[in-house]
């Protein structure tokens, strides 16, 4: 972090001395002294940068978590007003991985009772049930690809520290987009599967898994998977978990998934499972079988 960024990121909330809207003097002096490394009575830009680079048990800085809260607010707009209003508290809780008890009241929503524009109150309608779509691949090919997609989603959720039990809704959404076989998502995954047909090395397979995750992320499937992971959590645990996940995802994207690709490449069992899955996809989705069996499917 640069000196300028350190100054703009450092504020009273970062000293973690606010209690019920008040600043505790003793806490403030202790935190000030901890940042004032040379004891000259001032906090220099260098000292502020050093404090800003402090990382928690998930290797996240406070700046990372603030960015994660901003991303999570975009991903989960239904919570955004509460998260933004309570940013300092949520950043501190997330940094220290402290989850308030389930009986802790949910913070007040400053927009509660405020009439919002219809565009903000009405989410986009889901596809109509039973809608017919023209299948661009065979059903067996679609099943093979869905197996890979779910394996990739489960894998990266595990890296984040969570178990994913995909719902029928997630499966159906994947079926619909695969059967249509159009759009940027279809083009992206087709290029990855074509590359996997070469049966590359473990590092290439791990890179392919990362590419599929990014395609699933851009299409909204990873977000749907995250929603399912936190669906049974209380408000505080859900908020802190989502902010941490968003902060981690941002770091992954900025680094182009380098560490995650290396981690997967060293997971022998995972690589073996993905190798088998890609092999099955290649057999089921070959051009000959696809052209012979392509049908219209009502989903």
- Express each pLDDT in 79-96 by its tens digit: 999 999 999 999 999 999
Q: Answer yes or no: is 214 within a domain.
A: yes
Q: Answer yes or no: is 167 within a domain.
A: yes
Please state the length of the chain: 299
| Gyration radius (Cα) of the chain, Å | 23
H or E element at residue 278: helix 268-284
- Express each pLDDT in 225-235 by its tens digit: 999 999 989 99
Close Cβ partners of 149 (under 8 Å, ≥ 6 residues apart): 174, 212, 216, 221
Residue 180 DSSP symbol: H
Residue 136 shares a structural domain with residue 31: no
Q: Answer yes or no: is 82 within a domain.
A: no
Q: Answer yes or no: is 114 within a domain.
A: no
Q: Answer yes or no: is 288 within a domain.
A: yes
What was the pLDDT predicted at 187? 81
Q: Is 241:183 a contact under the CB 8 Å cutoff? A: no
Q: Answer yes or no: is 200 within a domain.
A: yes
Residue 146 shares a structural domain with residue 290: yes
Q: Answer yes or no: is 95 within a domain.
A: no
Residue 190 shares a structural domain with residue 284: yes
Residue 277 shares a structural domain with residue 143: yes
- Express each pLDDT in 42-92 by its tens digit: 766 666 555 556 778 888 998 999 999 999 999 999 899 999 999 999 999
- Express each pLDDT in 245-296 by its tens digit: 999 999 999 999 999 999 999 998 899 999 899 889 888 887 544 443 433 3
Q: Is 193:142 a contact under the CB 8 Å cutoff? A: no
Among 14, 59, 5, 58, residue whose Cα is nearest residue 35? 14
Residue 172 shares a structural domain with residue 287: yes
Count of C-beta atoms within a 10 Å radius of residue 151? 17
Tell me the HSE value of 244 on the side-chain side, using a 13 A CA sphere: 25
Point out the least confidently predicted range of 96-100, 177-181, 207-211, 295-299: 295-299
Residue 275 shares a structural domain with residue 147: yes
Close Cβ partners of 217 (under 8 Å, ≥ 6 residues apart): 223, 249
Q: Answer yes or no: is 208 within a domain.
A: yes
Using CA atoms, how far apart are residues 173 and 125, in angstroms rounded to an integer?
14
Give residue 258's domain range: 132-298
């Amino acid at each position: 972090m640069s000196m300028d960024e350190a100054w703009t990121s450092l504020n009273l909330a970062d000293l973690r001395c606010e209690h019920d809207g008040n600043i505790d003097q003793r806490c403030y002096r202790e935190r000030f002294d901890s940042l004032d490394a040379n004891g000259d009575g001032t906090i220099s830009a260098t000292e502020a940068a050093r404090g800003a680079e402090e990382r928690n048990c998930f290797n996240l800085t406070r700046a990372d978590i603030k960015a994660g809260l901003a991303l999570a607010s975009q991903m989960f707009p239904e919570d955004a007003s509460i998260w933004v209003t309570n940013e300092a508290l949520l950043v501190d809780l997330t940094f220290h991985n402290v989850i308030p008890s389930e009986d802790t009241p949910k913070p007040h929503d400053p927009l509660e009772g405020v009439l919002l524009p219809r565009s903000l109150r009405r989410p986009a309608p889901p596809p109509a049930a039973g809608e017919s779509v023209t299948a661009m691949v065979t059903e067996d090919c679609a099943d093979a690809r869905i197996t890979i997609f779910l394996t990739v989603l489960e894998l990266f959720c595990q890296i984040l520290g969570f178990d994913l039990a995909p719902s029928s809704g997630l499966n159906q959404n994947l079926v619909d987009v695969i059967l249509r076989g159009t759009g940027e998502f279809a083009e992206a995954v087709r290029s990855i599967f074509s590359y996997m047909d070469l049966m590359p090395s473990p590092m290439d397979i791990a890179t392919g898994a990362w590419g599929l995750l990014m395609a699933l992320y851009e299409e909204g499937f990873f977000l749907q998977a995250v929603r399912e992971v936190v669906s049974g959590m209380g408000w505080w645990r859900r908020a802190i978990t989502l902010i941490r996940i968003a902060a981690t995802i941002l770091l992954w994207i900025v680094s182009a998934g380098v560490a995650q690709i290396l981690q997967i490449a060293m997971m022998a069992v995972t690589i073996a499972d993905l190798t088998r899955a890609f092999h099955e996809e290649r057999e089921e989705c070959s051009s000959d079988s696809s052209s012979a069996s392509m049908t219209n499917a009502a989903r």
